[in-house]
Chains A and B, each alone.
Chain A
């Protein structure tokens, strides 16, 4: 605040970092728009890569290096791959799918434009004269982030590991339960190319799965 009062920074003479931020921001926002409007499902995932990569560049421009590389590793590296796997496992059509958007898209457009107008107005009005000083030592090097994370945020960090474990177990349970259902439904009508005894462990497993579900 005092910095902004001492050295006035105008919007009409942007610095190089600001110009780079603006250009990358335009690319990011355009890719996000294509992500939510394209009718080809796989292309939506690929444009999401552009959006997340652009955000990583924005983090680098804000001198938050560690966050930027974590963004590249986790989002671009794993989340998008998970989404692509999900698209392929649910047999998404490769070409244009005409029913990608639901019927209430105009209501959604109204809500989104109204929210964007209100948020942008409030944010611009509040932080018009605020200046981030990006010179000097970077604010988010690995050393700084690691020190703050393991000195001040150790307990939330450990709690987060428990949450990740819970999510892992939850994902396993969710996919395993459906498989037990399928086995239970399939085993009574399985034709017997196998010998007679072959069907019984399958059926027993299905019954065991049903029992487990009942216990749950």
Chain B
């Protein structure tokens, strides 16, 4: 098999994931796009490992070992990322990345006020939710 096929496929998948990370608004969709990019890298690693294990007689199989490590790290990343997204959703009531602009430096001067307002609203929501569950 030509090495070009897996290499081009992985480049295309990586750029698809890049578009998703930049264009999506929901945090979980952004995490899905990150998974796409990681999988593109995995395909590249496996293809080059298969090629090098034949032509260069490389017996370390570093590409496949690194692929396994990437898969494990991606699993850890998705767990932590979802925990963060759920915490943000519980505090703010949204998982919308475009609305999380507390630290943005904009032309509007009411940054601290709106931050305090958001915090108070979050407190109210948390209180309501706790009451509903209690």
Interface on A for B, CB 8 Å cutoff?
Answer: 1-3, 9, 11, 15, 17-18, 21-22, 25, 28-29, 32-33, 35-36, 41, 44-45, 48, 51-52, 55, 58-59, 61-64, 66-67, 70-71, 74-75, 78-79, 82-83, 85-87, 89-90, 92, 97, 99-105, 107-109, 111-113, 115-116, 119-120, 123-124, 127-128, 130-134, 139-140, 144-145, 148-149, 152-153, 156-157, 160, 163-164, 167-168, 170-171, 174-175, 177-178, 181-183, 185-186, 189-191
Contacts and interface: CB of A to CB of B under 8 A. Distances in A.
Given A101-B23, A152-B65, A171-B83, A140 B17 contact: no
A61 B1 CA distance: 10
Interface string B19-43: 1101111111101110110010011
Interface residues of B, number: 82
Contact of B2 (A2, A11, A103, A144): A11
Contacts, number: 288
SS of A interface (majority): helix
Ranked nearest first, the 8 interchain pairs of A and B with the lowest CB-CB distance are A186-B130, A108-B22, A36-B20, A167-B76, A112-B19, A116-B15, A148-B61, A108-B23
Interface of B: 1-9, 11-20, 22-29, 31-33, 35-36, 39, 42-43, 46-47, 49-51, 53-55, 59-62, 64-65, 67-69, 71-80, 82-87, 89-91, 95-98, 123, 126-127, 129-131, 134
